[in-house]
Each structure stands twice: as structure tokens, then as C-alpha cells.
Structure 1
Amino acid sequence: MVYLASVLLALAGSALAAPALAPEAELQNITARLVDMDHIQYQHLASRGIFPGVSVSSPAGTFNGAARPDVEAFTGIPFAQAPRLAPPVKYTTPFNNFDATIYSPSCPQFIGTTKPGGDFFGQIVNALTNTPFLQVALNQQEDCLNLAIYRPKGTKPDAKLPVLFWIYGGAFALGWNSMYDGGPLVKASIEAGKPYIFVAINYRVGAWGFLHGKEVTGAGASNLGLQDQRVALEWVADNIASFGGDPSKVTIWGESAGAISVWHQITLLDGNHLYNGKPLFRGGIMNSGSIVPAQSSTSNKAQSIYDKVVSATSCAGKPDTLNCLRQLPYKEFFDAANSVPTAVGFDSIALSYLPRPDGKWITGSTDDLLFAQKFADVPFIIGDQEDEGTIFSLMQAKIAGSTDGIVGYLSSLFFDQATKEQIKGHVLTYPTDITAGSPFGSWIFNEVYPGYKRLAAILGDMTFTITRRVFLKAVFSVRPNTRAWSYLASYNAGTPILGTFHASDIVQVFFGILPNYASKNIRNYYANFVYNLDPNDASGGTSQNSKVRDNWPKWDPVNKNIIQFFAYWFQPLKDTFRQASADSLEKNRQVFRI
């Protein structure tokens, strides 16, 4: 829920910054001030004819978008159909004069539990997110596979601009593309002299995208969310040239589950990212996420979730439960799918729904695929927020924070294939001293309950920060010529309880709500990478306004150089902190599988 709250705060910030609506004549004179508004305001103005239209004809059809002062937006473009618990189906008939000025539905969300007597906080979240206001705002529907395209105003079909393809995060349980208006990013890219086209997609989450089990796997319906992402990339390959984009210069970017999805796209089909003989993307940016050592889609863990969902429906005991689930009324399936533990409660990031090896799309755990060199050879940026684990450790006070309590927690919910001795050995790499915990550098403060800061350090490291180092070391062990840059973000240091928390980069980098040194320069690094596959290279584009003062060194296994982002300065950092924990994760990766 903190993830969702951070995004809502970002949207609220842009809403507060926008002027009040005025008569049409006055609005015509102030539209230049409204580029960074949230999408609700934008839709209101567009519906009143304040923004002129713009049209693009592509192989997928003719799409009528809206021209803002600096950016042209085409939103809600369908790229595939989404039959329940079945692979996406591409449209074969072009759309005629499709209205791409409004946002289409979000996919069904898994934000809070519907299970009576289940996790208390999850039930509260479910009650809040099922209020009429949020239901209207989210407009959840199963037919939800659509994308949004934002480009510089006046872009010609032959512009051949690079493309930044966004995959949202949300614990594989929530997220929708209209949450991420790409207009401000494109405007910033224009100002930096590196104009690009931004594409944001919807993909299925929760049970709709990541339900597993032998029934689902046997039907080829595992990892549907990843299949949605791949079909969206293929749509871009087929159509983005008509919007002025270059399909040979696509960079995929994601945060949290989106970053994990980026690595999955790099390893999908054993690293085959070709479509019609050409690469679907040429680089990746991963904010908070990489490998997730995972048990298979037919494992006991995966099957237990499927069985729980079935047992909560009238399909229990039926001979073909999968087909029955497909035919259920929407609300019955929704309530059953969302009756399992959520990421906002005690179970935290022991996720009910996540990508799992299915033998086809993902042929093995992505850490094993890495060592087998079954991944696309592309350069990438990868990094983390300094305090990734704080928002995931707020609800575990009842484990009392002792070593044995943490070991029991991790054993029962996360790593059922590891012995308690193996888990305890890992936990003991983290001191009990609260000054060593997360939020890091906060001395004796922010200990919400005994052991909070220690657990926050453990969960953040094993899911994101230190796993990133294990990942990088493995990449260079099999492909030493890889080009990679890594970072640690500390620009929100001092935030009470949370520090520089997971997903705070959505506010700082994506939305740029805090227009400080960090926001501008990280965006410039990314724009340079989109253009030149090097965050330091400001050449090309329309100018070199994206030049950055601080050189970002490449990561390599000898020097282990990364960059640390603070709000008003950057500094070099050695990627050697908490090395004993990194060694433990590396040694135990085949039993530390979720």
C-alpha cells in the first residue's frame, strides 16, 4: 500500500501545482503551464476541446490522439485481447479512427485481501480500494491490454526517435499504465536535447497474470503477464515507426516488479528476443529488481495457491477446474483470486503471484538461466533505493524481531526448501545492533518494533539490493564484456521510519515531483542511455543538454564501482557493503527459492 501511496502522492503533487480551471479563452493562454498535470485534469481539458487533435495511421489502425503544448499523447490503444487464464490474442483487424484521447481500463487489481478473517491490514486496504471513487478511477476490467504513447509535439513519421518502453511495478499484484503519464518525461527529454518516444503498457497482474499450478501450466497459461508484455513489444515493433519511433532503438525500463519483468524479458524463451528476425529491444533499465530465484510453476508452492483459489469458488470438486474458473462470473473469480495473502500484510514479499519457471516461456529459474548464458546480450542499468525493505517490514511485529523469530518467519513463508540452519546462518550476517539496520545511517532511531530495522535490512537485501550484486557478479562471470552501470539511491535519507524507501524513485525520477539535482541528472543519464546505450554519452539528439557532471563508472567484478545518488550531489561508492550477506545469498541461491 505504501507503493500505491507514493504514486498517489506524486499525482496529488502535480494536481496541487496546476492552476484551477478557468474559462476556455483564458485556458488557451495558460495551457503551457499544464504539461505536468495528472491525467484526470488532462482528460477534463481534452473533453472540452482545449487541446487540438492529432492522428496517426499505422498497421494496427488509425489513432486519434491529443496535442498538448509540448507532447502528443495517444492513450488507451488496444494491443491484444485478454481471455481469462489464457494467452493474449492479437487483433487482426485494424482499428478505424480509434479515440486515443482517453484512458482505457486497468486490469483487475490485487491490492487487498477479500478473505474473511484474513490479514487485518489487507482487509482494510481491500475495503478502501473497493470504494466507489477508486473503483471508478481504476475502471478494472478483464479486457485491459492497452498501451499509451507519448511523443514530442510535431514528430514526423520519419523522425526515427528512440523508444523508452515502460513496465510498471506493484508486486505483480497491482499497477496500470494511466498511473504513469509519460508527458513530463518526454518534455524533459526534449529539454535535454534527447527527445524520445515513451510507451507505457498494461499487463495482467495477480491471478489474471501470474496464477500457476499443473492445470494452468499444462494449458500454456502460466506467466500470462510476461506474455502480455512480449506481445506489447511486438506491437511496438510493428507500429512505432508510424508514430516517428525507431523499432531498432527500444529500451525496456521497469521498476520493482517491472524491473524484474525486464530481466524476465531478457531471459524469456532462453534469451531469444528476436521478432521477425530483429531484436525487440537493445537495452534495459532495472530500478529495484533483477533475478528472483523461484520454484517452478508446478511446485507445491504454486499449486497451493491455485488450489486455494479453486477452493474459494463453486469450481471446487469439478473435473476441469481451469475451464470452470474461466467461466465464472467476474466477481466470484475476483473474490477468490484475491483471497490469498497480499504484499501489504504480514506475508509481505512472500508473494502469492509472481513469475515462475514454466518450461516454455521461462525454462528455468532466472538465476540458473543466467549461469547457462540463456539471456539476451544487451547493456543495462540496474540499481536500488537504499532502504528497499522498510515498507515491507511494517507488519511483522509479532515475530518479536529475535533471530529465531526471523528464521521461523523466513522458513515458513519464503524458503521452504532451505533448512533452518541455512536460513539462520544468513540471518546472523546481520547484526542485532539497531544502528546497523534499515533505514541505514539513522543511528538509534526508527525502530518501529524490536527487530524492525534488522528485518528491513534482510528483506530489502535478499529481494533487491544485495541480490543485485550477486546478479552482477554472475553476469560478468559468464559474459565479462557486458556493459552495465549500477547505483544506490539515497536521495530521501532522513525520511522517518522509511528512509529512501522502495518505489520512492517513482516520485523522484519518473514524476520529478522534487525538481532537484537528482531528478534532472538521473533523467539525463537515462536519456543518454536511451540514445547511446551509455549514461555518460550526451552526443546525438538535438543538443548536449543532457551532459552530466558526474561520470558514472561501469560496474566490473574487480573494482565494483557504483554511483550513489543524493538529492543535491552524487558520489562514487564501492559495491562491497554487507559482503557477508552477499556471500550467503550466493552460496544458498538454489535453496533460497521463493
Structure 2
Amino acid sequence: MKSALLCLLYISVGSALAQPQVHAPSGVFRGNSSIADLDQFLGIPYAQPPVKGLRFANPLPVDSSQEHAVDATAYGPGCSQLASFAEYNGLGEDCLSLNVIRPCGTSPNAALPVMFWIHGGGNTNGQSIFYNGTALVQHSIAIDHPVVYVGINYRLNGFGFLNSPAIQADGVSNLGLKDQYLALQWAHDNIAGFGGDPDKITISGESAGAADCWAQLHYAYTNNETNKYFRGMITQSGAPGSPAFPRAVEPQAGAANYKSLLEKTGCTGEGLPCLRNVPHSVISPFLINQAIADFTIDNDWFNGNLSELVESGQFARVPVIHGTNLDEGSFFMPSPFRFPNRAALIKTIASYLNNNTDTASHIYNLYASLSDVELGKGPKGDPTAPRGYWVALAIYTDLFMDLGKQTWLRIASWAVDTWGYDFRQQPPLNSLNLSYEYPGATPKFAERVGVYHGSELLYVFGEATHLPDRTAGDDSVAIAVMGAWISFAYYLSPNGIEGSAMPFWPRYNSSSAGELMVFEEQKGLSMRAEANVMRAAVYEAWGEALAAIEQKPPF
């Protein structure tokens, strides 16, 4: 608790010093110490505002010649998205900001590891305030391995991922990814002033944020920038190789949508120069109604689908932690109470196999032959859910998440140090009421969705330890996960901190029965390393079917 005592001394010397101040190449930043043991520098611009002439333009660095200190005491607004998200911290186009959280009073020469977070939300919603990192940094102090945390906002929806031949011709595709890249550059160039080590940055993200991390990993490879801006990666619930994973599509795929945008905004015949001057209130409704924002094959970031590029070995060689949750599919299926029947599920499977219903039927039958436990029914799974629910749940979990995990673990383990995990801790039922994805969820709904997509975030960010209905197991899993992530930031291994609450986590080895860390402390089950064999026959069938279509080796 040495740093906590230093922080108390730091604040007690007078109000003039109570507001932390940092000198960095990009300016002077004044933050706040309103949370125990922490300095927060919030809403720091890392790019020029992407408005007017810079809308639909590549991000530009901020001017570092400010005459006055930057007020970094409050979060900046989230980037433009559905109005229902405005209540959290407001929304707007001028949104390219980041937040730095560090132990209170950290000196510029502390050289602490840095954890850099890219939020999820389909690249259509979300903002950094949802993932503030304060509990994670507080825990790092408690275990005497302090870290600096950076969370960012980036352009979403059509503002960040508009797709068309005209966009490509102007060189402004994949703007959301370019925003993230510029934020990484900013962190590398400035984080030493905050006490971070620019050579010890770990990028991490969940869902679409994980997809974006993979894109950054590929871009680092193609530009010979391995270890330049980050040296390790943690991805949660999202890896290339899943059939339904965010794609990189040809510019022509967005041509009709772009033409419609021009017509609806009165810019037909004028193109991007006109679109840049349309009032935000007019253009925004046409750009924020997407369920997911795809990447663009632009011959810069991508010259093919991201899954194909990664599977061919086009990724920077850095150590990786990757895993998924037990019941990911409950988030992606139409409804946990109105789930697809056999015919609909076969049709869904076939849609990823060139509509080959014979192969799809075979794969469906393999799912149907599995036990409820193999399908994803954990020890706290809804006992009233019919068997058809568990079959549908497993299929959607695999389509969106677990087939990608199997692909990545197979590919990566020969190239880099890789650790895989299964997250199976079902959070307290009241946890969903704290999630912006499930506002007002009923206990029955919470029981049915189980270890849902995103539920591990409650543990990674320490929120689970504050839930009123938490168990001792929830506390144990949160402490173990935070400790493993912090250890990775320090040692590029989840096993580096002595006295960890987690058992030894072996590196994944695809040449043998690879093992995953199972995060679970409930109903007599404990955290453990376990062979990756659940649904193995199904994965083998999927691998053969996809390989036949894509002309590549199976899993």
C-alpha cells in the first residue's frame, strides 16, 4: 500500500498540488484525483476534431503547441451513435479523446506497463466511459504491480466505417481503425510523461474491440511495426475464423448505401465535399442505424478478408491471451425465449456453407447429439430451458465466437506464446441491470442468458466485486482475471505474479491436447486448466466443411 500513502501525502500538501499535472510532448494536462489512490486524466484529445472538412477524413494529430494546460478532469462525449446512449456522457462528432488512469502521484520515470483498451459494441456503439479502468488500476496497486490504463473513443458507424468505391478512391476507408492507430501512436509518444513505459504497451479489447485489435495486429505485420506500438495483446470474445466474425468487404458492397446517403442529404453529384458540410443533425440518422460496421478491403489495411489474412500468417508475432464465454450465443440469437427451431438452424448453418443443406444437417445432428453440459449449460443454467434452446445456443456461440477461437488457437500456438481461456462464471442475476446492453432485465432473462456475451467484463474491470448479490466465487474470479491480465502486461505471461489466486495457466499447444484456463468458482467447481475438447467432433466437422469451400486445411 506504499503508493496509497504517497498519494495521501501528495494531496495533503495543499490544494495547489491536489490537481495532478503532466508535461508531455503533446501538451500539459491537468487531471483529477477524485478516486482513491488514482490520478485521472480524462477526455484528452488525441486527434483534431473530425468535423466539417475533417469529417470522412483520415485523423490528424492534435496541435502540440497549446499555450495553456489542457483541462483533463472530465470524460469527453461518446462518438455519434444511437441517441439512447447519449444519457451516459453525451454524444457528438468531436469525440476523439482518450483517458489515462494511473496510480496517484506516479512519477514520469516510473516506466509502468500500459494497458490500452479498445471498446466493443459492433463498431456502432460504446464509449470509453463504460470501461473506466479505475478498479483495475486500484487492484494493480493492491498487488504491488501498478499499471497505467488508457481507454479510447473512436469513430463508429458510418462516421468511422463508411464503405463505397468513392470512399476508397479518396483514401478514407476504415477511419475507425485509423483513429485507434493514431491513439496508439499518441500513447507511445506521450505515456512516459504519465509514468508509463512506451515499450510495454498491451492492447486489449472485447467483441468488436477484439476484432479491431486483430486488425491492428495485422496492420503492424504488413507495415513491419511489430513491437513498435504494442508488445502483447489480450482479446476477449472475438477472433478471425468465425463464420459470422466482422468481415472485410469490397468497397462495392457499400455502393448502394452510399448512393442513398447522397440522395437523402441532397449531395447527389457532389460527393464527399458536400457530405462534409451537411449538418450533423441531418446526416447522423443515416449513419448510425447499422447493427455492425464491417471493415473495407482498401488495399491498405486489408487486401482480403481479415480471417483469411490472419489464417495465412499475416499477423505481428506478439504474445496473446484469447478466450470466449460459455454462452456467447444468447446475445446473438433472435431471442433466448424465441429461439430458432431445427429447420431454421439448419438453414442458418447452411448459409455459411454455400447453402449446402446436407452438410448443415450433418453438423446440426452432431450438436443435437451432445449433452446439455457440452452444449453450454453451466451449473447455474436455467433449469426450465428446453433442450432446443441449448442446441441453438451452442450453434450461435460457435458461429460468432468459438469457431474463431479454435482457428486462432490452432494457428497461433506454433507462432507465438498463446494462452486460451473459457469463461464460465455466471454473474449475479442483478448484473444485467448494470449493463447498457440489457437495461431492465428480469431475473428470468438473466438466468436464461447465462454466461452471456460481455459478462466477463464485470470481472476484468472489477465491477463484480461490488455487486450486491455477488458470491465469494465472483470475488475470486475477478481477482484472478485482473491479476492474470496485469501479470501479462508486466511479464507477457499470466503466470508472473507470485501468490496469484489463479492456478498455473499452461501455454496452449495445438500439437497435443491444448489446455484452456476455465474461469469458474461456483457450485463446487473451481478454476482449473482443462483440455480443449468440448464439442471437438462438431469443430472437426465445421473445419472440414469450411475447408472444402475455402480450399484450405481444416482445423
1:481 to partner: Cα distance: 4.6
Task: Say if 2:493 is the partner of 1:534.
Answer: yes
Is the 8 Å Cα contact of residues 249 and 282 (structure 1) preserved in structure 2? yes
Distance 1:489 1:69 in 2: 30
Instruction: Kindly indicate whether the alpha-carbon contact (under 8 Å) linking 1:309 and 1:339 is maintained by their aligned counterparts in 2.
Output: no
Contact 2:417 2:507 in 1 (8 A): yes
Give the gaps of 5 or more residues in structure 1: 1-31, 36-48, 111-125, 343-350, 539-543
Residues 481/374 of structure 1: CA separation in 2 closer, same or farther (3 Å cut): closer
TM-score, normalised relative to structure 1: 0.77
Q: Is the 8 A contact 1:294 1:365 kept in 2?
A: no
Asked whether the 8 Å contact 1:394–1:452 carries over to 2, the reply is no
1:101 and 2:55 matched: no
Give yes or no for the alignment of 1:559 onto 2:513.
yes
CA contact (8 A) 1:272 1:376 kept: no
CA shift for structure 1 position 306 = 3.8
- Which of 578, 581, 591 in structure 1 is aligned with 2:535? 578
Say if 2:383 is the partner of 1:445: yes
Rate the CA distance shift 1:149–1:492 in 2: closer, same or farther, 3 A.
same
The 3 A distance-change label for structure 1 pair 366 and 587 is farther
Q: State the shift of 1:261 in Å.
A: 1.4
- Counterpart pick for 1:282 among 198, 214, 231: 231
Report whether the alignment pairs 1:404 with 2:343: yes
Residue in 2 aligned with 1:347?
A: none
Distance 2:531 2:219 in 1: 31
Q: Secondary structure at the match of 2:285?
A: helix
- Cα RMSD over matched residues? 3.0
Q: 1:268 aligns with which of 219, 229, 236?
A: 219
Once residues 546 and 254 of structure 2 are traced to their aligned partners in structure 1, the CA distance between those partners, rounded to angstroms, is 19
Cα pair 2:247 2:295 within 8 Å, conserved: no
Partner of 1:381: 321
AA paired with 1:483?
Answer: D
In structure 2, the partner of 1:61 is: 27
Tell me the equivalent position of 1:19: none
Aligned counterparts of 1:202 and 1:458: Cα–Cα separation in 2: 32
Q: 2:449 aligns with which of 469, 494, 498?
A: 498
- SS in structure 2 opposite 1:362? coil
- Rounded to whole Å, the distance in 1 between the matches of 2:97 and 2:32 is 17
* Residues 1:76 and 2:8 aligned together: no
Q: Which residue of 1 aligns with 2:433?
A: none
Q: Can you give the 5+ residue segments of structure 2 that lack an aligned partner in the other structure?
A: 8-14, 430-445, 466-473, 551-555
CA displacement at 1:305 relative to structure 2: 4.4
Q: Distance in 2 between matches of 1:431 and 1:303?
A: 41
Q: Percent identity?
A: 29
Rounded Cα–Cα distance in structure 2 between residues aligned with 1:525 and 1:578: 26
Residue 506 of structure 1 and its aligned partner are, at CA, apart by 1.5
1-structure distance, mates of 2:108, 2:415: 36
Q: Is the 8 A contact 2:162 2:174 kept in 1?
A: yes
1:459 to 358, 381, 396: 396
How many angstroms apart in 1 are the aligned matches of 2:17 and 2:448? 43
CA contact (8 A) 1:160 1:246 kept: yes
Counterpart of 2:283? Answer: 333
Alignment CA distance shift 1:468-1:416 (3 Å): closer
Residue type of the alignment partner of 1:577: M
**Distance apart, 1:263 and its partner CA:** 1.3
State the match for 1:468 in structure 2: 405
- Residue correspondence of structure 1 range 196-275 to structure 2 within 5 A: 196-268=147-219, 270-272=221-223, 274=225
Q: Verify the 8 A CA contact 2:113 2:196 in the aligned structure 1.
A: yes
Deviations 1:368-416 (A, max 9, x none): 2223322110001111111001022244877x723332244466xx649
1:10 matched to which residue of 2? none
> CA contact under 8 A between 1:254 and 1:286: conserved in structure 2?
yes
Local SS of the residue matching 1:559 = coil
Structure 1 residue 567 displacement after superposition: 3.0
TM-score, normalising length from structure 2? 0.82
* 1:172-183 paired onto structure 2 within 5 Å: 172-183=123-134
Q: What SS does the corresponding residue of 2:317 show, helix, strand or coil?
A: coil
Aligned to 1:354: 294
Per-residue deviation, 1:104: 1.0
* Contact 1:371 1:475 (8 Å CA) reproduced: no
CA contact (8 A) 1:210 1:225 kept: yes
Question: How many residues are treated as equivalent by the alignment?
Answer: 499
Seen in structure 2, the aligned counterparts of structure 1 residues 258 and 446 have a Cα distance that, compared at 3 Å, is farther
1:158-197 matches, cutoff 5 A:
158-197=109-148
Once the two structures are TM-superposed, the CA of residue 421 in structure 1 deviates from its matched residue by 4.7
Counterpart of 1:42?
Answer: none
Q: Residues 407, 223 of structure 1: CA spacing in aligned structure 2 closer, same or farther, 3 A cutoff?
A: farther
Q: Is the 8 A contact 2:210 2:239 kept in 1?
A: yes
CA contact (8 A) 1:439 1:497 kept: no
